Amino acid sequence: MRKNHVLIALFVVVLAVLPMTTATPEFWITQLNYIGLASLVVLGLVLLTGVGGLTSFGQAAFVGVGAYTTAWLTTQYGVSPWLALVAGLVLTALIAFTLGAITLRLSGHYLPLGTIAWSLSLFYLFGNMEALGKHDGIAGIAPLTFFGWSLSGGRNMYYLIWVLVLLAVWATHNLLDSRPGRAIRALKSGAGMAESMGVNTAAYKIIIFVYAALLACVSGWLYAHMQRAVSPSPFGLNYGIEYLFMAVVGGAGYVWGALLGSAVILILKDQIQNWMPRLFNTDANFELIVFGVMLVLVLQYARDGLWPILSGLFRRLTGGAGSRRNAPAPPEAPALPKRERDAPTEHVLEVDAIRKEFGGLVAVNDISFNVRTGEIVGLIGPNGAGKSTTFNLITGVLPATRGQVRFRGQRIDRLSARAIAKQGVGRTFQHVQLLPGMSVIENVALGAHLRTEVGVAAGALHTDRAREAQLLHEAARQLQRVGLGDYLYEQAGNLALGQQRILEIARALATDPVLLLLDEPAAGLRYKEKQDLARVLSQLREEGMSILLVEHDMDFVMRLTNHLVVMDFGTKLAEGVPAEVQRNPAVLEAYLGGIDEDMPGTLPQSATPAAPVAPAHPANATGVA
């Protein structure tokens, strides 16, 4: 939004001035009213489908719920339209929550098919209920009044529609730029990662489903009082598809794309209806053909929609601001709450005979080991040894077939990844899992999700600024700590692979973990970056943090760890201090295939020397090599 503020301001001014001009034909005022109504529905789809990744063809049905609720209450019982709006919102929220709790359990193509099913059900309900007038609908709906000012005319209704549209845009922008907004943006391509950061992804799916339904309900309420009559036809599946088409054309991932897509499709639809009969001398309906061709072209040449193209062109023409890479760091803010640390001699993690079977394959075979406070334990072994699977069992990503995992004395192997993260376990992943379209600082702020509470309403209404400042300050502090302080506002996807791995560590540190699990953190790092990483990990150990480390760079592991656990084919081969483990015959057999007479009895060191690091914490000095 910041990059396009001039374009957006110009757009808002035009909207405000246009109806004041008496020369503006009534047709275009009506057209703009319909664009505004559609924009409310499409705005919900931007959040639901474009940002959250949940495809819905049923939003037109929620428009119908809002329209029929106000029509029935105002005509049958004389209820005020404003009270009818409240009733419609409550009813829509209840219906959307119920449908969402059922439908959003589906994935893949089953989810959009599910939305089609309940959309058709509601559509036929509108057309077959006697109280709703069946297919004839309800007529004679009273116009809206606002403090005695009648909104019966199109120009008067225009202001109410567009004030509500702009308020919805403002609230949606605020929401996406907040703690819950970062969680919502993680749903599409990082749900598993977000769960490991403590995000309740199932709850956020229902939240955005209800949010989109409420916007559609407001659109239906406005439609009913603008048209003064309702019937089932505008709330069918074909309109649900058209709303989704508007979102794709405008830019499904962009809030202002909702307005652009609605305008393009409705204006184009009207012009096609006017010009096609003249060009081809026929009354045949060519709309769907043209829309189908247009959709193919948009998907081929503008997969992100028209809004990023338009805003990018506008910035180039006006010499707009470029990258925010050199923007100042967030201002100082009160520190977020921190967890209490355990005594240095206590066991933080106890893995007891944990086992994982995939059918007939035993991936982890009754592994046992412990991690003490302020200790770095290395979990090593050849490729395919089961190290990452062990990580996933500890963090709740995978359920264990049997065995136990205890964290700070409490059993956690039956908990979800979100619950384990809440206990104080942070992690990175073998394959980098970031949100590439979000800035570096936002990715790290997602890691601090559990350390404060900000609701959806507070995010949308912009009342969360103090807590948001705390989150961003903490994220910037962790980025400075790992050496990425110059990249706060760079898109995470633009970083090199090594920097992305460091970014994952910063995100894990933002969770304020007691135990930090690092899956191949040095993979892809250059010599200097490994030195810096080693210093960071050594400092964390001195601060009392426990670290479980999977790494293939043996020199890095041997110099850094207090204790080693070696795995091969899912089984523990050896355990002990690095100096002992690297001479263990079973370990040498697994890595080298045996010992020749001329071969020294130690594991090979990596070609890239690791950094010298500080000695282990005195209380845990167990013979670091």
Query: For 151-191, what is each residue's pLDDT tens digit?
Result: 887 888 988 999 899 999 999 999 999 999 999 999 998 99
Per-residue pLDDT of 546-574, as tens digits, reads: 999 998 888 888 889 999 999 988 899 88
Distance CA 223, CA 38 (A): 10
Q: Max Cα separation, the chain?
A: 100
Contacts within 8 Å (CB) and 24+ apart, 269-276: 270/31
- The pLDDT of residue 611: 41
CATH architecture, domain 2-318: Orthogonal Bundle (1.10)
**pTM (2 d.p.):** 0.88
CB-CB contact of 330 with 473 (8 Å): yes
CB-CB contact of 268 with 276 (8 Å): no
Distance CA 267, CA 256 (A): 17
CB-CB contact of 236 with 123 (8 Å): yes
Q: Which residues contact 109 (CB under 8 A, 6 or more apart)?
A: none
CA separation (Å) from 66 to 59, 158, 200, 217, 358?
11, 19, 29, 4, 49
- Written as six digits, the tokens of 532 are 């810096």
- The pLDDT of residue 75: 95
Q: Of 35, 28, 13, 19, which is closest to residue 151 (Cα–Cα)?
A: 19
Per-residue pLDDT of 465-480, as tens digits, reads: 999 999 999 999 999 9
Q: Of 234, 252, 306, which is closest to residue 56 (Cα–Cα)?
A: 252
CB-CB contact of 250 with 259 (8 Å): yes
CB-CB contact of 519 with 428 (8 Å): yes
Per-residue pLDDT of 264-276, as tens digits, reads: 999 988 888 777 7
Distance CA 307, CA 8 (A): 11
From the CB of residue 400, how many other CB atoms can be counted at a distance below 10 Å? 21
Distance CA 379, CA 585 (A): 17
DSSP state of 233: G
Per-residue pLDDT of 325-367, as tens digits, reads: 667 888 888 989 888 877 776 789 999 999 999 988 899 999 9
Per-residue pLDDT of 48-93, as tens digits, reads: 999 999 999 999 999 999 999 999 999 999 999 999 999 999 999 9
Could you confirm whether domain 347-620 is CATH 3.30.70.20?
no
Distance CA 125, CA 133 (A): 11
Q: Which residues contact 247 (CB under 8 A, 6 or more apart)?
A: 42, 45, 46, 49, 50, 257, 258, 261, 305
Distance CA 211, CA 202 (A): 14
CB-CB contact of 202 with 104 (8 Å): yes
Residue 146 φ then ψ, to 5°: -130, 105
DSSP conformation letters of 7-46: HHHHHHHHHHHGGG-TTS-HHHHHHHHHHHHHHHHHHHHI
Residue 610 above 50 pLDDT? no
Residue 227 above 50 pLDDT? yes
- The pLDDT of residue 312: 84
Q: Which residues contact 163 (CB under 8 A, 6 or more apart)?
A: none
- Written as six digits, the tokens of 289 are 């053909």
Residue 607 above 80 pLDDT? no
Strand partners, 350: 370, 406
Residue 323 above 70 pLDDT? no
From the CB of residue 249, how many other CB atoms can be counted at a distance below 10 Å? 27
Distance CA 517, CA 397 (A): 13
Per the listing, tokens 């509500």 go with 164
- The pLDDT of residue 394: 93
Q: Where are the domains of the chain?
A: 2-318, 347-620
- The pLDDT of residue 620: 40
CB-CB contact of 530 with 556 (8 Å): yes
Distance CA 550, CA 418 (A): 22
CA separation (Å) from 354 to 102, 199, 574, 578?
34, 26, 16, 23
